[in-house]
Amino acid sequence: MNALNYPLEQLMTIKKNRFDQAVKILEEKKLLLEQAYEKLFDATQERDEVLAHKMAKLTQLREALDAGTSTDKIQQMKTYLKVVEERLQEKERIVVQCQKAVDLAQKQVDLATEELFQRKKDLEKLEMHKAEWEKEMRYWTERKEGAEQDEQGSATYTLRKREAKSRKKNQT
């Protein structure tokens, strides 16, 4: 049986390339998401350190108030607490920004995953079509070959019949 060329082979190659590209994009997006999570983790750690420092300073201020420390010392501690509070707010803003980056990266991963599934589905549809096409081509090729064999057999039978008649004629 001679090999027939699938008429949509170029389209199949294009779909395969798009699928491969979607896989690469998904891997890149997952890497970006992982990096965003790492930044969020680091920012959260820094914020928690500043928060722990603030709590320690608040405890120290309360103890100083209970001990009856001088007013200048208490004012100095309150001023320092304001600085720590500003640093804490800055770290909190960084955490919020990192969380937004994580959310955006997660959306991109989700979109890339959907795209990958769509590309895979398109490729599978085309592969199923190719399998059906090949099956149909085999069927028609076999029918054609069968018809040719029948024709050959019929011609051979007719030829032998004539030869047998001519031999009978020649013998008599």
pTM exceeds cut of 0.85? no
pLDDT for the residue numbered 1 = 39
Q: Taking every pair of C-alpha atoms in the chain, what is the biggest distance, in angstroms?
A: 150
Query: Across the chain, what does the average pLDDT equal?
Result: 91
pLDDT for the residue numbered 157 = 84
Residues 129-168 pLDDT 10s: 999 999 999 999 999 998 888 888 888 888 888 888 888 8
pLDDT for the residue numbered 79 = 93
Spans of the chain, pLDDT less than 70: 1-3, 172
| 11's tokens | 């389209």
State the Cα–Cα distance between residues 65 and 26, nearest whole angstrom: 58
Q: Calculate what percentage of the chain has a pLDDT beyond 90.
A: 67
Show the CA angle centred on residue 168, arms to residues 162 and 170, nearest 5°.
Answer: 100
Q: Which helix (H) or strand (E) holds 51?
A: helix 9-67
* Angle at which helices 71-171 and 9-67 cross, to 10°: 160
